[in-house]
Structure 1
Amino acid sequence: MTITHHDEMNGLREIGRIVANTMHAMAKAMEPGMATGELDQIGAALLEREGALSAPQTTYDFPGATCISVNEEIAHGIPGSRVLAKGDLVNIDVSASKNGFYADTGATFRLGAVSPELEQLCRDGKRAMEIGIAQVRSNGPLAGIGKAIGRFAERRGYTLIQNLASHGVGRSLHEYPEEIATWPTRSDRRRINRGLVMTVEPFLSRGGLWAMHGEDDAWTLLAEPCAPVVQYEHTVVATDRGPIVVTLPG
């Protein structure tokens, strides 16, 4: 989607606020002994209260209102009977629509104390997203996002999952540009047009390179090679002055 009118920005900001508030409320509600299905029900109720529709459900018939991925699961985890425990890394990904506008956000949360290594991975995962967002501006190179994130990851000794990309969003969950690399690539010559709406969502890891489907279902993705992975995601709009983040709580 490309923003051309103020009412479009207002609609995008509204759904951005809804998904952000939902994600953070779910994170606050997490506790040891809770099943991921229970956590998803909290998210579903919050979206319904705001008049929003779960984008994974309406777009892909995903078996949950939100995606909840725990520890070895790095994306698209199906909410269900899995019980959360102290020390878990829990990725909550919330995307939804309202009045024809879509927004997408996600973050990895620590349930209680984790090892210093994982604590640092989480901090650096959020920083990697921020570095990528800083590259979003009118007429900037799309490949500049992955180039900047890649420099950061290499300096810190991390790897990046290289088959889970950012994407355009706004009038549907996934739209042009269909794939925006959050790792270095030389083949992408596309530029960012003014008003373009997109996600920035690097998957930072301590060794993982690819996302692979597990054996239990057709949705949940695991890292290959097996390694800790974190993901942080915002929906942003490109302007002449830089990015506007719309998935902020409020």
Structure 2
Amino acid sequence: MIPQKTREEIELMRESALVVSKTLGMLAKEVKPGVTTLYLDKLAEEFIREQGAIPGFLGLYDFPNTLCMSPNSQVVHGIPNKTPLQEGDIISIDCGAIKNEFYGDHAYTFAVGEIAPETQKLLNTTKESLYEGIRQLKVGNRVGDVGYAIQKYTEDRGYGVVRELVGHGIGKTMHEDPEMPNYGKRGRGKKFIEGMVVAIEPMINLGTHKIRQHSDGWTITTLDNKPSAHFEHDVAIINGKPELLSTFKYIYNALGIESKEEDEFRQQPLVL
């Protein structure tokens, strides 16, 4: 059964999601050549605690760090380390936080300096596919409608959609029903209801959709070692429609990017 949140609980979840949003915004200025992912991880832990929250990933399923840091061909669940980022890398930063007993969880893939045009196109397409999926999150639709929208948008452009890793419901636990694959058939799967909250997170590869897990038990990379991108938002259904609880606008403010991509998913203006 899909958990249903009250309006009051959704507003508490918005606070949790915005802790993550602000953390990613803070990190946006720090992602540059020569910086290590372990350094970024320490910054994030301190920042989350300063906001009166708890790192959501640290210790979850025995994960050793605050952030999942996945550069280049790493899809997700990369462990922060002392290897410096290099010009032309990309880095997916997946962050979680607990506030008011609820989880926030979302992700953004950053460019490190100037990146190859084909890699930038992968990032753009993956983020666009996230919003294609979110548009389908409305009362009466089904899980397959979201997955189909993401899959069609990305596969039509020649990319690989990871099958083994999926989005999920979220609440007082990190992973709730329903699972939210990034592929599927329209009209299939669990039906969406008012008050549900999910994390939608396309993981899209430049080449094959196939992946492999490394011996550390966490790191996932593409089978062909081509780049992978990952973007994630927390979304609630309010008044039958998708409402973003998270935002990339702190990132955009830090990087000087103008964007109205989130506006259609806000029933009330976001106050930064």
Aligned residue for 2:171, secondary structure, equals coil
Question: Residue type of the partner of 2:181?
Answer: A
- Please tell me whether the aligned partners of residues 138 and 239 of structure 1 are also in contact (alpha carbons under 8 angstroms): no
Establish whether residue 245 from structure 1 lines up as the match of residue 251 from structure 2: no
So what's the TM-score if we normalise by structure 2? 0.86
Establish whether residue 166 from structure 1 lines up as the match of residue 158 from structure 2: no
- Please tell me whether the aligned partners of residues 59 and 65 of structure 2 are also in contact (alpha carbons under 8 angstroms): no
- Counterpart of 1:181? 181
Question: Residue type of the partner of 1:88?
Answer: D
**CA deviation vs aligned residue, 1:209-236 (integer Å, no higher than 9, x gap):** 1332123x11111112332210100000
- Counterpart of 1:74? 75
Establish whether residue 117 from structure 1 lines up as the match of residue 118 from structure 2: yes
Establish whether residue 146 from structure 1 lines up as the match of residue 154 from structure 2: no
Question: Residue type of the partner of 1:106?
Answer: A
**CA deviation vs aligned residue, 1:21-67 (integer Å, no higher than 9, x gap):** 10121122122111110010110011010111112224322111111
**CA deviation vs aligned residue, 1:80-116 (integer Å, no higher than 9, x gap):** 2121111110000011111211111101100111111
Aligned residue for 1:156, secondary structure, equals coil
- Please tell me whether the aligned partners of residues 208 and 229 of structure 1 are also in contact (alpha carbons under 8 angstroms): no
- Counterpart of 1:2? 4
- Counterpart of 1:93? 94
Question: Residue type of the partner of 1:181?
Answer: P
- Counterpart of 2:231? 232
- State the identity %: 31
Report the Cα distance in structure 2 between the residues aligned to 1:78 and 1:148, rounded to whole angstroms: 30
- Counterpart of 1:196? 196
So what's the TM-score if we normalise by structure 1? 0.94
- Counterpart of 2:63? 62
Establish whether residue 212 from structure 1 lines up as the match of residue 229 from structure 2: no
RMSD: 1.6
Deviation at 1:163, TM superposition (A): 0.8
Question: Residue type of the partner of 1:83?
Answer: P
Aligned residue for 2:108, secondary structure, equals strand
Deviation at 1:187, TM superposition (A): 9.4
After the TM superposition, which of the residue ranges 184-193 and 96-105 deviates more from structure 2? 184-193
- Please tell me whether the aligned partners of residues 142 and 186 of structure 2 are also in contact (alpha carbons under 8 angstroms): no
Aligned residue for 2:75, secondary structure, equals strand
Deviation at 1:186, TM superposition (A): 7.2
Aligned residue for 2:93, secondary structure, equals strand
- Counterpart of 2:43? 42
After the TM superposition, which of the residue ranges 16-25 and 54-63 deviates more from structure 2? 54-63
- Please tell me whether the aligned partners of residues 74 and 227 of structure 2 are also in contact (alpha carbons under 8 angstroms): no
**CA deviation vs aligned residue, 1:178-209 (integer Å, no higher than 9, x gap):** x2111124794310111111011011122231
